[in-house]
Amino acid sequence: MLIQNQSFLFDIPNDINYLNCSYMAPSLKSVSEAGEKAVRLKGTPWEIKAEDFFTSVSALKERFAKIISSKKGHIAIIPSVSYGIETAIKNIDLKETDTILLLKDQFPSNVYPWIEKAKSVGAKVTFLEKNEGTWTDTVLNALNPSVKVLALPNVHWTNGARLNLEKINKKRKEIGAYLILDLTQSCGALPFSVKNIDADFIVAAAYKWLLGPYSLSYLYVSEDFHNGKPLENNWINRKDSQNFSQLLNYKDEYQSGAERFDMGEKSNFISVAMANVALEQILNWGIEEISESLKILTNHIINLSNELNLKTLIKEEQSPHMTGITFENGVPNKLLADLKVNNFFISVRGNSIRVAPHLYNSRDQIDEFFSIIKKHL
Ligand SMILES: Cc1ncc(COP(=O)(O)O)c(C=O)c1O
Protein backbone atom coordinates (compact mmCIF):
# COMPACT_ATOMS: atom_id res chain seq x y z
CA MET A 1 0.00 0.00 0.00
CA LEU A 2 1.28 3.46 -0.87
CA ILE A 3 1.94 5.84 2.03
CA GLN A 4 0.55 9.35 1.64
CA ASN A 5 2.72 12.38 2.38
CA GLN A 6 3.84 12.25 6.03
CA SER A 7 5.25 15.79 6.42
CA PHE A 8 2.83 16.39 9.32
CA LEU A 9 4.93 13.99 11.40
CA PHE A 10 8.05 16.13 10.94
CA ASP A 11 8.98 19.64 11.98
CA ILE A 12 10.01 20.90 8.54
CA PRO A 13 8.94 24.50 7.76
CA ASN A 14 6.74 24.86 4.66
CA ASP A 15 9.35 26.87 2.75
CA ILE A 16 12.10 24.24 3.19
CA ASN A 17 12.55 21.70 0.39
CA TYR A 18 14.71 19.04 1.96
CA LEU A 19 15.74 16.45 -0.64
CA ASN A 20 18.80 15.18 1.20
CA CYS A 21 17.94 12.22 3.42
CA SER A 22 21.21 10.61 2.26
CA TYR A 23 23.02 13.34 4.17
CA MET A 24 20.98 13.25 7.37
CA ALA A 25 17.30 12.58 8.03
CA PRO A 26 15.27 15.20 9.87
CA SER A 27 13.92 13.77 13.12
CA LEU A 28 10.28 12.83 13.38
CA LYS A 29 8.51 15.02 15.96
CA SER A 30 7.97 11.87 18.04
CA VAL A 31 11.72 11.13 17.94
CA SER A 32 12.63 14.64 19.09
CA GLU A 33 10.07 14.40 21.89
CA ALA A 34 11.50 11.05 23.04
CA GLY A 35 14.99 12.61 23.04
CA GLU A 36 13.87 15.66 25.02
CA LYS A 37 12.13 13.49 27.59
CA ALA A 38 15.25 11.36 27.89
CA VAL A 39 17.45 14.44 28.37
CA ARG A 40 15.29 15.46 31.33
CA LEU A 41 15.50 11.96 32.82
CA LYS A 42 19.15 12.56 33.69
CA GLY A 43 17.92 15.28 36.07
CA THR A 44 16.33 12.55 38.17
CA PRO A 45 18.86 9.68 38.12
CA TRP A 46 17.14 7.98 41.03
CA GLU A 47 14.45 7.09 38.51
CA ILE A 48 16.95 5.18 36.31
CA LYS A 49 16.94 1.56 37.45
CA ALA A 50 19.55 -1.14 36.82
CA GLU A 51 17.28 -2.95 34.36
CA ASP A 52 16.92 0.27 32.32
CA PHE A 53 20.53 -0.24 31.19
CA PHE A 54 19.30 -3.32 29.32
CA THR A 55 15.60 -3.20 28.46
CA SER A 56 15.53 -0.31 25.95
CA VAL A 57 18.63 -1.56 24.14
CA SER A 58 17.10 -5.00 23.96
CA ALA A 59 13.88 -3.56 22.46
CA LEU A 60 15.95 -1.59 19.95
CA LYS A 61 17.79 -4.72 18.82
CA GLU A 62 14.48 -6.52 18.45
CA ARG A 63 13.19 -3.73 16.20
CA PHE A 64 16.32 -3.53 14.07
CA ALA A 65 16.34 -7.33 13.74
CA LYS A 66 12.82 -7.14 12.28
CA ILE A 67 13.98 -4.62 9.69
CA ILE A 68 16.51 -7.08 8.27
CA SER A 69 14.54 -10.28 9.08
CA SER A 70 17.05 -11.37 11.69
CA LYS A 71 16.94 -12.09 15.44
CA LYS A 72 17.74 -9.87 18.41
CA GLY A 73 20.64 -12.13 19.41
CA HIS A 74 22.46 -11.29 16.16
CA ILE A 75 22.43 -7.52 16.68
CA ALA A 76 24.92 -5.30 18.51
CA ILE A 77 24.63 -1.56 19.21
CA ILE A 78 27.70 0.42 18.20
CA PRO A 79 28.56 4.11 17.64
CA SER A 80 29.52 4.24 13.97
CA VAL A 81 30.03 2.33 10.76
CA SER A 82 33.82 2.44 11.10
CA TYR A 83 33.46 0.74 14.53
CA GLY A 84 31.45 -2.06 12.91
CA ILE A 85 33.93 -2.54 10.10
CA GLU A 86 36.82 -2.63 12.60
CA THR A 87 34.91 -5.27 14.57
CA ALA A 88 34.56 -7.40 11.44
CA ILE A 89 38.27 -6.98 10.67
CA LYS A 90 39.26 -8.03 14.17
CA ASN A 91 37.47 -11.33 13.57
CA ILE A 92 38.69 -12.18 10.10
CA ASP A 93 42.05 -13.80 9.39
CA LEU A 94 43.78 -12.20 6.43
CA LYS A 95 47.12 -13.09 4.91
CA GLU A 96 49.54 -11.71 2.37
CA THR A 97 48.04 -13.47 -0.62
CA ASP A 98 44.48 -12.27 0.09
CA THR A 99 42.57 -9.58 -1.81
CA ILE A 100 39.90 -7.25 -0.41
CA LEU A 101 37.41 -5.91 -2.97
CA LEU A 102 35.92 -2.43 -2.58
CA LEU A 103 34.10 -0.14 -5.01
CA LYS A 104 35.77 2.96 -6.37
CA ASP A 105 34.65 6.02 -4.38
CA GLN A 106 33.12 3.92 -1.63
CA PHE A 107 32.38 5.73 1.66
CA PRO A 108 35.65 6.06 3.67
CA SER A 109 34.36 4.27 6.80
CA ASN A 110 34.30 1.08 4.72
CA VAL A 111 37.69 1.86 3.14
CA TYR A 112 40.26 3.14 5.67
CA PRO A 113 39.92 0.17 8.07
CA TRP A 114 40.62 -2.24 5.17
CA ILE A 115 43.60 -0.24 3.91
CA GLU A 116 45.16 -0.26 7.39
CA LYS A 117 44.49 -3.98 7.84
CA ALA A 118 45.90 -4.77 4.39
CA LYS A 119 49.05 -2.75 5.20
CA SER A 120 49.55 -4.66 8.44
CA VAL A 121 49.43 -8.13 6.84
CA GLY A 122 50.62 -7.30 3.31
CA ALA A 123 47.23 -8.10 1.72
CA LYS A 124 45.92 -6.30 -1.37
CA VAL A 125 43.02 -3.85 -1.61
CA THR A 126 41.42 -3.59 -5.04
CA PHE A 127 39.12 -0.67 -5.86
CA LEU A 128 36.78 -1.86 -8.60
CA GLU A 129 36.07 0.59 -11.40
CA LYS A 130 32.91 0.49 -13.44
CA ASN A 131 33.30 1.64 -16.99
CA GLU A 132 30.41 0.00 -18.80
CA GLY A 133 27.58 -2.16 -17.47
CA THR A 134 26.65 -2.44 -13.81
CA TRP A 135 28.43 -2.54 -10.46
CA THR A 136 27.02 -6.04 -9.99
CA ASP A 137 28.75 -7.35 -13.14
CA THR A 138 31.92 -5.49 -12.20
CA VAL A 139 32.00 -7.25 -8.81
CA LEU A 140 31.09 -10.66 -10.25
CA ASN A 141 33.79 -10.39 -12.92
CA ALA A 142 36.40 -9.55 -10.29
CA LEU A 143 35.82 -12.69 -8.20
CA ASN A 144 38.71 -15.13 -8.18
CA PRO A 145 40.18 -17.51 -5.58
CA SER A 146 42.46 -14.81 -4.13
CA VAL A 147 39.45 -12.69 -3.07
CA LYS A 148 38.93 -13.15 0.65
CA VAL A 149 36.68 -10.19 1.46
CA LEU A 150 33.96 -8.23 -0.35
CA ALA A 151 33.23 -5.07 1.63
CA LEU A 152 30.29 -3.46 -0.16
CA PRO A 153 27.18 -1.28 0.11
CA ASN A 154 23.74 -2.13 -1.31
CA VAL A 155 23.66 1.21 -3.14
CA HIS A 156 26.58 3.47 -4.01
CA TRP A 157 26.42 6.46 -1.66
CA THR A 158 27.31 8.99 -4.38
CA ASN A 159 24.38 8.32 -6.73
CA GLY A 160 22.24 5.44 -5.45
CA ALA A 161 23.50 2.88 -8.01
CA ARG A 162 22.16 -0.40 -6.74
CA LEU A 163 24.02 -3.68 -6.48
CA ASN A 164 22.32 -7.05 -6.78
CA LEU A 165 23.58 -8.45 -3.49
CA GLU A 166 21.70 -11.72 -3.90
CA LYS A 167 23.70 -12.58 -7.00
CA ILE A 168 26.95 -11.39 -5.43
CA ASN A 169 26.29 -13.35 -2.23
CA LYS A 170 25.76 -16.61 -4.15
CA LYS A 171 28.95 -16.22 -6.14
CA ARG A 172 31.15 -15.14 -3.24
CA LYS A 173 30.20 -18.30 -1.38
CA GLU A 174 31.55 -20.41 -4.24
CA ILE A 175 35.02 -18.94 -3.62
CA GLY A 176 34.68 -18.83 0.18
CA ALA A 177 35.00 -15.03 0.48
CA TYR A 178 33.54 -13.05 3.39
CA LEU A 179 30.77 -10.54 2.70
CA ILE A 180 30.77 -7.39 4.85
CA LEU A 181 28.01 -4.88 4.13
CA ASP A 182 27.55 -1.20 4.90
CA LEU A 183 23.81 -0.62 4.46
CA THR A 184 23.82 2.97 5.75
CA GLN A 185 22.48 4.38 2.47
CA SER A 186 19.71 1.84 2.02
CA CYS A 187 18.55 0.21 5.25
CA GLY A 188 15.13 1.61 6.14
CA ALA A 189 14.22 2.54 2.56
CA LEU A 190 15.16 -0.54 0.56
CA PRO A 191 13.96 -3.99 1.65
CA PHE A 192 16.78 -6.27 2.81
CA SER A 193 16.68 -9.70 4.43
CA VAL A 194 19.51 -11.76 5.88
CA LYS A 195 17.43 -14.76 4.86
CA ASN A 196 18.29 -13.97 1.22
CA ILE A 197 21.66 -12.32 1.76
CA ASP A 198 23.40 -14.01 4.66
CA ALA A 199 26.41 -11.72 4.96
CA ASP A 200 28.99 -12.19 7.71
CA PHE A 201 28.74 -8.68 9.16
CA ILE A 202 26.27 -5.92 8.32
CA VAL A 203 26.46 -2.39 9.61
CA ALA A 204 24.12 0.59 9.23
CA ALA A 205 24.27 4.06 10.76
CA ALA A 206 20.98 5.16 12.36
CA TYR A 207 20.88 8.80 11.33
CA LYS A 208 19.91 8.57 7.66
CA TRP A 209 17.25 6.19 6.30
CA LEU A 210 16.65 4.70 9.75
CA LEU A 211 15.54 8.18 10.94
CA GLY A 212 17.47 7.87 14.19
CA PRO A 213 19.99 9.95 16.12
CA TYR A 214 23.65 10.55 15.30
CA SER A 215 26.41 8.44 16.95
CA LEU A 216 24.42 5.23 16.94
CA SER A 217 24.70 2.35 14.48
CA TYR A 218 23.47 -1.22 14.20
CA LEU A 219 25.72 -4.22 13.68
CA TYR A 220 24.48 -7.63 12.55
CA VAL A 221 26.88 -10.49 13.26
CA SER A 222 26.30 -13.93 11.73
CA GLU A 223 26.35 -16.93 14.03
CA ASP A 224 29.80 -18.06 12.82
CA PHE A 225 31.29 -15.11 14.73
CA HIS A 226 29.33 -15.27 17.97
CA ASN A 227 32.41 -16.53 19.78
CA GLY A 228 34.52 -13.74 18.30
CA LYS A 229 36.48 -10.91 19.86
CA PRO A 230 34.77 -7.56 20.53
CA LEU A 231 36.60 -4.37 19.64
CA GLU A 232 36.70 -3.22 23.26
CA ASN A 233 36.54 -4.87 26.65
CA ASN A 234 33.73 -3.13 28.49
CA TRP A 235 31.94 -4.31 31.62
CA ILE A 236 28.43 -4.50 30.23
CA ASN A 237 29.29 -7.17 27.63
CA ARG A 238 30.56 -9.56 30.25
CA LYS A 239 28.35 -12.34 31.57
CA ASP A 240 25.85 -11.39 34.30
CA SER A 241 26.56 -7.66 34.03
CA GLN A 242 22.89 -7.11 34.95
CA ASN A 243 23.87 -8.02 38.51
CA PHE A 244 25.39 -4.69 39.56
CA SER A 245 26.30 -5.89 43.04
CA GLN A 246 28.57 -8.57 41.48
CA LEU A 247 30.46 -6.42 38.95
CA LEU A 248 33.73 -6.85 40.81
CA ASN A 249 33.44 -10.57 40.45
CA TYR A 250 35.35 -10.24 37.13
CA LYS A 251 34.31 -12.68 34.41
CA ASP A 252 36.08 -14.15 31.39
CA GLU A 253 32.80 -15.06 29.71
CA TYR A 254 30.67 -12.71 27.65
CA GLN A 255 26.95 -12.20 27.34
CA SER A 256 25.37 -14.46 24.72
CA GLY A 257 25.12 -14.07 20.92
CA ALA A 258 26.20 -10.80 19.36
CA GLU A 259 25.89 -8.95 22.67
CA ARG A 260 29.65 -9.22 23.21
CA PHE A 261 30.08 -6.75 20.33
CA ASP A 262 28.02 -3.96 21.94
CA MET A 263 29.86 -0.69 22.54
CA GLY A 264 30.64 0.62 26.02
CA GLU A 265 27.75 2.75 27.37
CA LYS A 266 25.46 1.14 24.82
CA SER A 267 22.51 2.06 27.06
CA ASN A 268 22.73 5.78 26.11
CA PHE A 269 19.32 6.74 27.43
CA ILE A 270 18.86 9.59 24.95
CA SER A 271 19.87 8.06 21.64
CA VAL A 272 18.41 4.63 22.37
CA ALA A 273 15.05 6.22 23.29
CA MET A 274 15.08 8.22 20.03
CA ALA A 275 16.13 5.26 17.89
CA ASN A 276 13.39 3.06 19.36
CA VAL A 277 10.69 5.55 18.38
CA ALA A 278 12.20 5.97 14.90
CA LEU A 279 12.32 2.23 14.20
CA GLU A 280 8.82 1.75 15.57
CA GLN A 281 7.53 4.30 13.05
CA ILE A 282 9.47 2.66 10.21
CA LEU A 283 8.05 -0.75 11.14
CA ASN A 284 4.54 0.72 11.33
CA TRP A 285 4.90 2.15 7.84
CA GLY A 286 6.61 -1.03 6.55
CA ILE A 287 9.84 -1.05 4.53
CA GLU A 288 8.16 -2.38 1.35
CA GLU A 289 5.60 0.41 1.61
CA ILE A 290 8.26 3.09 2.26
CA SER A 291 10.21 1.81 -0.70
CA GLU A 292 7.22 1.71 -3.07
CA SER A 293 6.15 5.19 -2.01
CA LEU A 294 9.61 6.73 -2.41
CA LYS A 295 9.97 5.02 -5.78
CA ILE A 296 7.14 7.13 -7.14
CA LEU A 297 8.96 10.33 -6.15
CA THR A 298 12.33 9.04 -7.39
CA ASN A 299 10.84 7.88 -10.71
CA HIS A 300 9.36 11.35 -11.14
CA ILE A 301 12.85 12.83 -10.54
CA ILE A 302 14.36 10.44 -13.08
CA ASN A 303 11.67 11.13 -15.70
CA LEU A 304 11.99 14.91 -15.37
CA SER A 305 15.81 14.63 -15.58
CA ASN A 306 15.59 12.55 -18.72
CA GLU A 307 13.15 15.04 -20.30
CA LEU A 308 15.91 17.64 -19.85
CA ASN A 309 18.55 15.26 -21.26
CA LEU A 310 20.26 14.97 -17.88
CA LYS A 311 21.80 11.58 -17.24
CA THR A 312 20.58 9.33 -14.44
CA LEU A 313 21.15 5.65 -13.70
CA ILE A 314 20.27 2.82 -16.07
CA LYS A 315 17.06 1.06 -15.05
CA GLU A 316 18.86 -2.01 -13.68
CA GLU A 317 20.79 0.13 -11.18
CA GLN A 318 18.05 2.50 -10.05
CA SER A 319 17.15 2.64 -6.37
CA PRO A 320 13.72 3.61 -5.08
CA HIS A 321 14.99 6.26 -2.67
CA MET A 322 17.83 8.22 -4.25
CA THR A 323 19.41 9.09 -7.57
CA GLY A 324 22.31 11.00 -9.02
CA ILE A 325 21.65 13.48 -11.84
CA THR A 326 24.67 14.19 -14.02
CA PHE A 327 25.37 17.48 -15.81
CA GLU A 328 27.75 16.75 -18.67
CA ASN A 329 29.58 20.09 -18.34
CA GLY A 330 29.48 20.21 -14.56
CA VAL A 331 26.76 21.43 -12.20
CA PRO A 332 26.14 25.12 -13.07
CA ASN A 333 27.24 27.36 -10.16
CA LYS A 334 24.30 29.66 -10.71
CA LEU A 335 21.96 26.68 -10.38
CA LEU A 336 23.41 25.84 -6.95
CA ALA A 337 22.99 29.47 -5.85
CA ASP A 338 19.41 29.53 -7.14
CA LEU A 339 18.56 26.27 -5.35
CA LYS A 340 19.99 27.72 -2.16
CA VAL A 341 17.92 30.90 -2.41
CA ASN A 342 14.82 28.78 -2.91
CA ASN A 343 15.65 26.54 0.07
CA PHE A 344 16.29 23.37 -1.92
CA PHE A 345 18.71 21.04 -0.17
CA ILE A 346 20.62 18.41 -2.16
CA SER A 347 24.27 17.22 -2.24
CA VAL A 348 26.80 17.83 -4.99
CA ARG A 349 29.13 14.97 -5.95
CA GLY A 350 31.52 15.94 -8.77
CA ASN A 351 29.50 16.51 -11.97
CA SER A 352 26.34 15.21 -10.33
CA ILE A 353 23.81 16.18 -7.75
CA ARG A 354 22.38 13.56 -5.42
CA VAL A 355 18.66 13.80 -4.73
CA ALA A 356 17.24 11.73 -1.89
CA PRO A 357 13.54 12.22 -1.04
CA HIS A 358 11.55 10.82 1.87
CA LEU A 359 7.93 10.66 2.89
CA TYR A 360 7.90 14.36 3.84
CA ASN A 361 8.55 15.38 0.21
CA SER A 362 5.87 16.02 -2.43
CA ARG A 363 5.56 15.80 -6.19
CA ASP A 364 4.98 19.58 -6.27
CA GLN A 365 8.35 20.18 -4.63
CA ILE A 366 10.02 18.05 -7.29
CA ASP A 367 8.24 19.94 -10.06
CA GLU A 368 9.46 23.23 -8.57
CA PHE A 369 12.98 21.79 -8.27
CA PHE A 370 13.02 21.01 -11.99
CA SER A 371 11.54 24.35 -12.98
CA ILE A 372 14.63 25.90 -11.31
CA ILE A 373 17.02 23.45 -13.00
CA LYS A 374 15.46 24.17 -16.40
CA LYS A 375 16.33 27.87 -16.11
CA HIS A 376 20.05 27.03 -15.90
CA LEU A 377 20.47 24.64 -18.82
C1 LIG B 1 27.66 4.75 2.96
C2 LIG B 1 27.96 5.41 4.26
N3 LIG B 1 28.48 4.70 5.25
C4 LIG B 1 28.77 5.25 6.45
C5 LIG B 1 28.54 6.57 6.71
C6 LIG B 1 28.87 7.12 8.06
O7 LIG B 1 29.97 6.43 8.61
P8 LIG B 1 30.39 6.60 10.14
O9 LIG B 1 29.24 6.07 10.97
O10 LIG B 1 31.61 5.75 10.29
O11 LIG B 1 30.63 8.04 10.40
C12 LIG B 1 28.01 7.38 5.68
C13 LIG B 1 27.78 8.82 5.87
O14 LIG B 1 27.53 9.58 4.96
C15 LIG B 1 27.70 6.77 4.44
O16 LIG B 1 27.16 7.48 3.43
User: Is the CB of residue 269 below 6 angstroms from any atom belonging to ligand 1?
Assistant: no
Beginning with the edge strand found earlier in the chain, give each strand of the sheet holding 217-221 in spatial order. 75-78, 217-221, 201-205, 178-182, 147-153, 99-103, 124-128
Report how far apart, in Å, the C-alpha atoms of 274 and of each of 48, 63, 279, 290 are: 17, 13, 9, 20
DSSP per-residue codes, 344-376: EE-EEETTEEEEB--TT--HHHHHHHHHHHHHT
User: Is the CB of residue 159 below 6 angstroms from any atom belonging to ligand 1?
Assistant: no
User: Is the CB of residue 153 below 6 angstroms from any atom belonging to ligand 1?
Assistant: yes
User: Is the CB of residue 360 below 6 angstroms from any atom belonging to ligand 1?
Assistant: no
* Alpha-helical runs (H) found in 217-362: 269-285, 287-307, 333-341
User: Is the CB of residue 339 below 6 angstroms from any atom belonging to ligand 1?
Assistant: no
Q: Which residues pair with 149 in a beta bridge?
A: 100, 178
User: Is the CB of residue 80 below 6 angstroms from any atom belonging to ligand 1?
Assistant: yes
User: Is the CB of residue 186 below 6 angstroms from any atom belonging to ligand 1?
Assistant: no
User: Is the CB of residue 82 below 6 angstroms from any atom belonging to ligand 1?
Assistant: yes
Ligand 1 atom 14, closest CA? 23
Cα of 248 vs centre of ligand 1, distance in Å, is 37
In this prediction, residue 350 carries a pLDDT of 85
User: Is the CB of residue 205 below 6 angstroms from any atom belonging to ligand 1?
Assistant: yes
b (16+ CB within 10 A) / e for 319-354 = bbbbbbbbbeeebeeebeeebeeeebebbebeebbb
User: Is the CB of residue 20 below 6 angstroms from any atom belonging to ligand 1?
Assistant: no
145 three-state secondary structure: coil
Cα of 21 vs centre of ligand 1, distance in Å, is 13
Q: Read off the DSSP letter of residue 111.
A: T
Cα of 43 vs centre of ligand 1, distance in Å, is 32
Q: Which of 157, 231, 319, 321 to mutate to test the pocket of ligand 1 (most atoms within 8 A of CB)?
A: 157
Cα of 81 vs centre of ligand 1, distance in Å, is 6
Per-residue confidence of the chain (377 residues) as pLDDT tens digits? Answer: 899 999 999 999 999 999 999 999 999 999 999 999 999 999 999 999 999 999 999 999 999 999 999 999 999 999 999 999 999 999 999 999 999 999 999 999 999 999 999 999 999 999 999 988 999 999 999 999 999 999 999 999 999 999 999 999 999 999 999 999 999 999 999 999 999 999 999 999 999 999 999 999 999 999 999 999 999 999 999 999 999 999 999 999 999 999 999 999 999 999 999 999 999 999 999 999 999 999 999 999 999 999 999 999 999 999 999 999 999 999 999 999 999 999 999 999 889 999 999 999 999 999 999 999 999 99
In this prediction, residue 131 carries a pLDDT of 81
Q: Which residues pair with 238 in a beta bridge?
A: 254
